Amino acid sequence: DSGVTQTPKHLITATGQRVTLRCSPRSGDLSVYWYQQSLDQGLQFLIQYYNGEERAKGNILERFSAQQFPDLHSELNLSSLELGDSALYFCASSVAPPGLASNLYNEQFFGPGTRLTVL
């Protein structure tokens, strides 16, 4: 158990709908990352938050957004869903702050993921 929790575990919805995925980081971790894992795209970084602020963006679509709340949990909102959005969405957390980037040892702890199926 990594200490990172994600809900729901599975989500099935229809095209055009909107869903919210939730993540609670490990106790004490201020950084939260969202990743998407699909068969054709592999594991891709979407977005990072640190202590409530967005710090880095990856291959995140405009239809997707995220936020991190004062209690440090994070939500990933996916709207106008398309079939191609079906994937595993992982949240990860770490203690290392951004900005110092790759100079710090930064183990990321991953949640079990949310499997999204868009029909």
The residue ranges that bind another protein (CB under 8 A) are 2, 4, 31, 33, 35, 42-45, 48, 55-56, 58, 90, 92, 94, 96, 98-113
| Min separation Cβ 102 and another protein, Å | 4
Whole-Å CA distances, 62 to 12, 15, 100, 103, 107 = 21, 16, 27, 30, 28
| Min separation Cβ 77 and another protein, Å | 19
Nearer to another protein, 9 or 62 (CB): 9
Nearer to another protein, 22 or 109 (CB): 109
Nearer to another protein, 62 or 100 (CB): 100
